[in-house]
Amino acid sequence: MSGRAQASAGELLELVRTGRATTRGALQQATGLSRATVGQRLDRLFRAGWLREGAGGPVDSPLGGRPSITLEFDDAHAIVLAADLDTRHARAAVLTLTGEILAEHGGSLVVDDGPEAVLGELGRWFAELLEKAGRRAGEVCGIGLAVPGPVDSDTGRVVQPPMMPGWDGHDIRATLAGAFTAHTGVTGVPVLVDNDANLMAYGEQRTSYPGCSAFVLVKVSTGIGAGVVVHGSVYRGIDGGAGDIGHIRTGAEALCRCGSYGCLAAVASGGAVARRLAENGVRAASGSDVRDLLTAGHPEAAAFAREAGRQVGDVLATVVTLLNPGVLMIAGDLAGTAFLTGVRELLYQRALPRSTAHLDVVTSRLGERAGLVGAGALVVEHLYAPERAEARLLALGV
């Protein structure tokens, strides 16, 4: 840690939260602070309700003595709200600060209806979920939102989103905060927004693959997007455009919703498979319809999904060669056996053996909850980062 002797209360909290130092003695050793200074800074965290004492740890000295008291992040002092928007459906939840879902709701919500209508409805869902969870709106420390489009993380605004007409440049943070206030009366709750594939990747990596230093998740639903987590952090690129593999050009001539021809999403997404099925007389209008057909064992849907998987696998051979991930996770409406089989066929055929020798190709562990868990984690990591935590402690007067 830089400036060891000047470590703030926020930095001590970070050490405890991440498990790098969970006793007073370990904090002294990690920071170089005196016992008295560590005690003073921990006292601020205790008064804020952010830390608690846990069970005694092992006795390190061969001479015996009292066990060291462990320190724990206290996740009971606040809660987080999270929502995950797809093009025609959404999920919302109340979560603890450590990611446990206390209440959740899923239902129809169409992004084409525009930000005011959609975010206003989310505000109503949040108010109902808080009542269902038996929690007060004043306990909410932040709101996380996953959206199906590229997001400028500095502003929280989507940038030219092909799947979200009418949302380009909209102030999502202000609108959702206003909707929350309108339904609960609580003001000043921060809102964070990120791409859905990014947050799914973040949630999955943190929950199931915390030791994987290079993790890639590909979401294949109505569109196609990827989230990349490197050394525990989401890689977004310079303005939020990283991972937008749905608009990599293929040799096809199909028209994409972005206005270009030959995009991967135009030929291999859930929406593309639904169109092919409809052209063959099968009732399907979206990726979720394809998912239902695949679950029911529909042979034509399985054949088209496998072919879509091959097309995606062809592109992923380049992604894997470039990033050399340890885990490649397939998620979304098409993430079943047929699609995964197609991905593996082309991926292992086209990528160099060196790139796939230590690669695990898997499907989602969290399923429809991945985006919610990732959105909740995004809020917590933002609010309790050392500098921001220090500022919040000062604002609380501790």
* pLDDT surpasses 50 at 97: yes
Task: Give me the percent of the chain exceeding a pLDDT of 70.
Answer: 96
Torsion (CA) 345, 350, 351, 353 in degrees, nearest 10: 80
User: Helix (H) and strand (E) counts for the chain?
Assistant: 14, 14
Burial of 180 (0-12, 13-18, 19+ CB in 10 A): buried
Contact 110, 286 (CB under 8 A): no
Contact 86, 222 (CB under 8 A): yes
3-state secondary structure of 94: strand
Q: How far apart are CA 207 and CA 193, in angstroms?
A: 20
> How many residues appear in the chain?
398
Give the E-state strand segments of the chain in sequence order: 51-56, 69-73, 79-85, 89-96, 101-108, 140-147, 151-152, 157-158, 191-195, 214-220, 224-230, 233-234, 327-331, 360-363
Q: How many CA atoms lie within 13 A of 108 on its CB side?
A: 2
Token representation of residue 174: 């202000």
| pLDDT number for residue 66 | 60
Least confident among 11-20, 61-70, 187-196, 289-298 = 61-70
| pLDDT number for residue 2 | 44
Segment 199-245, tens digit of pLDDT? 999 999 999 999 999 999 999 998 999 999 999 999 999 888 899 99
Contact 241, 150 (CB under 8 A): yes
pLDDT band at 306 (very low <50, low <70, confident <90, very high): very high
Segment 9-67, tens digit of pLDDT? 999 999 999 999 999 999 999 999 999 999 999 999 999 999 999 876 554 545 455 67
Mean pLDDT value of segment 284-290: 91
Query: pTM of this prediction?
Result: 0.92
pLDDT band at 398 (very low <50, low <70, confident <90, very high): very high
Segment 73-94, tens digit of pLDDT? 999 999 999 999 998 899 999 9
Strands 214-220 and 327-331, bridge-based pairing: parallel
* pLDDT surpasses 90 at 266: yes
Mean pLDDT value of segment 316-345: 96
pLDDT band at 1 (very low <50, low <70, confident <90, very high): very low
